[in-house]
């Protein structure tokens, strides 16, 4: 096989140490191979960097082992071409497996150009991802605590969630605080209702009458304090993310025009796919990278399972949540797409299809710097107008009607 790189290195990465194999072709065409081990402390990784730069190394490949590749990548970034490779793609033959042999195998594959690098975004985007992903984790943690709070209320025979829409709304939160502080008079608790909830005071009095004990008061107090802490942490994170994305408020505003996408979703999209769409030749390439397209598996001339691959789980979660919101918008193309597919293919597949449309829309919005343009809820009817006519006529004829069509005059 042809040798593409005269000086390259393969690194086998572990938590406490790394093994680096440097392969060099000298002026006479002879191959020289050298293997060294380094700890993962910054000082040792700097020694690794100096050794590679001094040796004229131009390309380095490493496995994407958990998060342990990140310290090595941070030190070597900008000094040579780095390839972070899926470990599934570079597994050697079974037997006689050692750290040294793994490093040698990676270096050999790299030298012959047989490795495909994963997409590693620029440092700014990586830092933004850390913030948005941490915020998503806190939002999920808050949802778990709210569910635990609801379980404690059910255990205490308090049916507040059956009357109030939001168990943590202004009125419901005032009632919970009063319960924790020792108020047991259900009439006084119900009078804390505000707005439209005051029309349900009789139902509230029934819902707040239960077996509320001291341990319930303690648990709910702790959970409310935890929720308050999470709300404040989420607010600080959102402020930090907003400051970092301040120069790109126009792109965020354009993404916000997509049904189902709000400010937080737009920030998560930018963190995961970036703002530069030139790295993806087409929207289909972006959908394939995000694993929001059917899988390709064919054997013996037969197409087998077409389920989607495992992709960026943070992006998948963001798009799925946005797709659920878009599917419930009124008079929109995305809602029409969802209802058209859910009856035939099921709700989950329909949500994935809508999420794919959202991702494609985001691609063109960022590439063309144009706002979202809805195709309309009747897009599919107009797309297959004649087929729809035949289908409806056939259905009426099966019911015993004779059908003749007459076009309406065009309205000026």
Q: Tell me which H or E stretch contains 303.
A: strand 302-303
Q: Which residue has the tokens 């979703």?
A: 265
DSSP state of 77: T
**Prediction pTM value:** 0.86
Up-side HSE of residue 319: CA atoms within 13 Å toward CB?
32
Round to whole Å and give the CA distance between 291 and 316: 8
- The residue extents of the domains of the chain are 7-111, 124-244, 249-297+306-368
Token digits for 407?
Answer: 């076009």
Token digits for 206?
Answer: 């029934």
Round to whole Å and give the CA distance between 304 and 127: 39
Residue by residue, pLDDT tens for the chain (412 residues) are: 688 899 999 999 999 999 999 999 988 888 999 999 999 999 999 999 999 999 999 999 998 888 999 999 999 999 999 999 988 877 765 666 788 999 999 999 999 999 988 889 999 999 999 999 999 999 999 999 999 999 999 999 999 999 998 999 999 999 999 999 999 899 999 999 999 899 999 999 999 999 999 999 999 999 999 999 999 999 999 999 999 999 999 999 999 999 999 999 999 999 999 999 999 999 999 999 998 887 777 777 777 767 778 888 999 999 999 999 999 998 899 999 999 899 888 999 999 999 999 999 999 999 999 999 998 888 887 777 778 888 888 898 899 888 888 877 764 4
pLDDT of the residue at 93: 59
Provide the 10 A C-beta neighbour count for residue 70.
15
pLDDT of the residue at 383: 73
Provide the 10 A C-beta neighbour count for residue 149.
21
Q: What angle do CA 229, 245, 130 make, to 5 degrees?
A: 55
User: Phi and psi for 21 in degrees, rounded to 5?
Assistant: -115, 115
Q: What angle do CA 232, 235, 239 make, to 5 degrees?
A: 140
Round to whole Å and give the CA distance between 383 and 381: 5
Round to whole Å and give the CA distance between 235 and 226: 14
Round to whole Å and give the CA distance between 277 and 283: 9
- Give how far Cα 275 sits from Cα of 124, 127, 241, 368, 369, Å: 11, 14, 15, 11, 10
pLDDT of the residue at 410: 63
Domain 7-111 has CATH 3.30.420.10: yes
Distance linking the first and last C-alpha atoms of the chain: 71
pLDDT of the residue at 412: 45
Beta bridge partners of 299: 302
Round to whole Å and give the CA distance between 234 and 375: 35
Rounded to the nearest angstrom, the gap between the alpha carbon of residue 317 and the centroid of all alpha carbons in its chain is 4
pLDDT of the residue at 280: 93
Up-side HSE of residue 181: CA atoms within 13 Å toward CB?
9
Q: Which ranges constitute the DSSP H helices of 29-185?
A: 42-54, 69-76, 99-111, 123-155, 170-180
């Amino acid at each position: 096989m042809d040798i593409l790189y005269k000086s390259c290195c393969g690194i086998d990465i572990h938590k406490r140490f790394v093994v680096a194999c440097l392969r060099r072709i000298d002026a006479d065409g002879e191959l020289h191979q050298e293997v060294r081990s380094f700890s993962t402390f910054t000082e040792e990784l700097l020694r690794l960097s100096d050794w590679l730069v001094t040796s004229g190394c131009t390309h380095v490949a490493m496995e994407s082992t958990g998060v342990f590749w990140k310290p090595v990548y941070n030190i070597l970034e900008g000094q040579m071409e780095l390839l972070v490779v899926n470990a599934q793609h570079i597994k050697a033959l079974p037997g006689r497996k050692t750290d040294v042999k793994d490093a040698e195998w990676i270096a050999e594959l790299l030298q012959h150009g047989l490795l495909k690098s994963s997409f590693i975004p620029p440092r700014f985007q990586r830092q933004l991802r850390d913030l948005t992903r941490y915020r998503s984790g806190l939002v999920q943690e808050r949802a778990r605590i709210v569910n635990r709070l609801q379980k404690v209320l059910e255990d205490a025979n308090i049916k507040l969630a059956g009357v109030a829409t939001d168990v943590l709304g202004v009125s419901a939160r005032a009632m919970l605080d009063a319960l924790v502080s020792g108020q047991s008079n259900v009439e006084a608790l119900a009078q804390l209702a505000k707005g439209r909830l005051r029309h349900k005071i009789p139902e509230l009095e029934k819902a707040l009458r239960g077996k509320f004990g001291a341990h319930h008061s303690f648990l709910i107090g702790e959970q409310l304090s935890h929720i308050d802490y999470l709300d404040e942490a989420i607010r600080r994170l959102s402020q930090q993310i907003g400051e970092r994305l301040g120069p790109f408020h126009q792109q965020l505003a354009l993404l916000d025009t997509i049904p189902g996408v709000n400010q937080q979703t737009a920030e998560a999209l930018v963190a995961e796919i970036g703002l530069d769409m030139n790295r993806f030749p087409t929207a289909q390439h972006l959908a394939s990278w995000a694993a929001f397209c059917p899988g390709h598996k064919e054997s013996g001339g037969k197409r087998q399972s077409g389920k989607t691959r495992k992709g960026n789980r943070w992006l998948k979660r963001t798009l799925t949540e946005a797709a659920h919101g878009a599917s419930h918008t009124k008079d929109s193309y995305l809602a029409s797409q969802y209802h058209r597919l859910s009856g035939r293919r099921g709700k989950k597949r329909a949500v994935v299809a809508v999420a794919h449309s959202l991702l494609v829309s985001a691609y063109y919005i960022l590439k063309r710097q144009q706002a979202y343009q809805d195709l309309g809820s009747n897009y599919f009817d107009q797309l297959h107008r004649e087929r729809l006519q035949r289908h409806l006529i056939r259905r009426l004829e099966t019911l015993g009607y004779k059908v003749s069509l007459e076009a309406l005059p065009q309205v000026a």
